[in-house]
Structure formats: structure tokens, C-alpha cells
Amino acid sequence: MENIYPWIKVLHIVGVIAWMAGLLYLPRLFVYHVDATVGSPQSETFKIMERRLLRAIMNPAMIVVWVTGPYLAYLGSVWAQPWLISKLVLVVVLTLAHHASSRWRKSFERDENNHSARFFRIANEAPTILLIAIVIFVVVKPF
């Protein structure tokens, strides 16, 4: 266990960084996409950027995090710890944010988005706040 644990943690942290990069950047792309005219070259370029970010980076990274996180908890026997359970609740919310972004991407793809730039700016705050809270739970372990 001593040998494998830090390597799984390396994978976990790399997955977290890639997932968070996408969760923070995709709603930013939506903010700019809102201002692009439907059918314009800009709008079509945004569609490609959004699809690739989600498919090539965010989806695989989310899976890596969801596989390595529970595996670390199993190796470290920390399943019952309150900090882990609290963290897990926030990770579920982060996963819901991922799925919301995925739905918004699809509506942009069909040229059916009806949310404002302001809506996506606000949506962008959620992953930031969740990230800060999750890192505090896992590093400080306040309870």
C-alpha cells in the first residue's frame, strides 16, 4: 500500500487539475459564445472548442477523479471520516455542475441557448467556491 498510495494521489491531483480547468473555462466560453451571432464562423468555432474541451478533457478527467478518489479513501481507510463525507457531498455538487455545463453545451450546439452572459458569469462562480471548500476539507480536515 505504501508504494501505490502516493502514485494514486498523483493521478488524483492531475485529474483534479484537468477537470477543474474545464469546469472553470467552459462557462467562460459560454459567456463569449452568447455574444456570437447564430450561424457565424465565431459561433461555429466556439461549438468546436466547447465540444473538444468537454469530450477530450473534462469527461476523462472527471472519470479519473471518480476512480482515484474512492480508491484513495479505500486504501487509507478513511470512508467514515466526516471531512471525507463532507467533501464527497461537494464533489457530487461539482459533478452536477459538470452535467449542467454539458446540457448548456448541447443547447449551444443546437443554437437553442437562451441564457444570458450574466447567467454564465454567475454559473462560473459555483465551481470556484466548491473547489476552495473541497481543498480545505481534504487538506485542513476541519472535522
Q: For binding to ligand HEM (CB under 6 A), which residues are involved?
A: 9, 12-13, 16, 20, 65-66, 69-70, 72-73, 76, 78, 88, 91, 94, 131, 134-135, 138-139
Grid coordinates representing 40 are: 457565424
Q: Which is nearer to ligand HEM, 36 or 136 (CB)?
A: 136
Q: Which residue has the cell 450574466?
A: 118
Angle at 70 between CA 24 and CA 23, to 5 degrees: 5
Separation of alpha carbons 104 and 99, rounded Å: 9
Residues 6+ apart with CB under 8 A from 59: none
For ligand HEM, the nearest residue by Cβ is 69
Grid coordinates representing 1 are: 500500500
- As measured in angstroms, the least distance from the Cβ of 63 to ligand HEM is 10
- As measured in angstroms, the least distance from the Cβ of 36 to ligand HEM is 30
Q: Which is nearer to ligand HEM, 36 or 75 (CB)?
A: 75
- As measured in angstroms, the least distance from the Cβ of 66 to ligand HEM is 5
- As measured in angstroms, the least distance from the Cβ of 51 to ligand HEM is 23
Residue type, position 116, single letter: S
